[in-house]
Amino acid sequence: MTAEKLAELAKEAMAHAYAPYSGFMVGAALLCKDGTVYQGCNIENAAFGPTNCAERTAFFKAVYDGRREFTAIAVCGGKDGVVTGTFPPCGVCRQVMREFCADDFVIYLVNESGFETHTLAQMLPFSFSAAEHMQHGSPSEAK
Ligand code: THU
């Protein structure tokens, strides 16, 4: 799977967006270590808060199917489905990536003519992960 192909799959996923409130249609294509690709779109809600981003839709589909190891994700989006620059993952999506992905997980931000390449470590520095959770213990263990 090339980065170009993953970017194409992210663009394709935008068409599935349910975004009647913001008009921003977002698509993601998540590459698993075994080569499987999961596509996701944003799914909005009248109450706004329950809205799910494209990246999380892709992750949750993959995890439900038993995948927990990932290599890269391509993301693209734009008003009314027109890509006019990059659409970086929100903080919540970056934290979901952190749960399953290492520092070198690659995030391709797709734009009109190509894509930018970043890593999770660049996009979510000083993060709180499962490792920190184990190190500090769970609240139930606190004295
Ligand atoms: N959105 C995503 O799908 N991914 C992100 O990481 C940022 C935001 C969606 C949520 C909402 O439907 C729309 O973009 C505008 O915020």
User: What does the pLDDT look like over 11-58, one tens digit per residue?
Assistant: 999 999 999 999 999 999 999 999 999 999 999 999 999 999 999 999
For the chain, the average pLDDT equals 95
Residue ranges of alpha helices (H) inside 35-119 are: 54-64, 91-100
Q: Which atom of ligand 1 is nearest to the CA of 57?
A: 3
Beta-sheet pairing, 24-32 with 70-79: antiparallel
User: What does the pLDDT look like over 123-135, one tens digit per residue?
Assistant: 999 998 888 888 8
DSSP-derived secondary structure letter, 43: B
pLDDT at 140 over 90: no
User: What does the pLDDT look like over 49-80, one tens digit per residue?
Assistant: 999 999 999 999 999 999 999 999 999 999 99
Q: Is 137 exposed, middle or buried (0-12, 13-18, 19+ CB in 10 A)?
A: exposed
Going by alpha carbons, the residue nearest to atom 4 of ligand 1 is 53
* CA 4 / ligand 1 centre spacing (Å): 22
Closest by Cα among 28, 46, 47, 33 to 96: 28
Pocket residues: Cβ below 6 A from ligand 1: 19, 22, 24, 26, 42, 44, 51, 53-55, 89-90, 93
Cβ–Cβ under 8 Å, residues 40 and 57: yes
Beta-bridge partners for 74:
29, 108
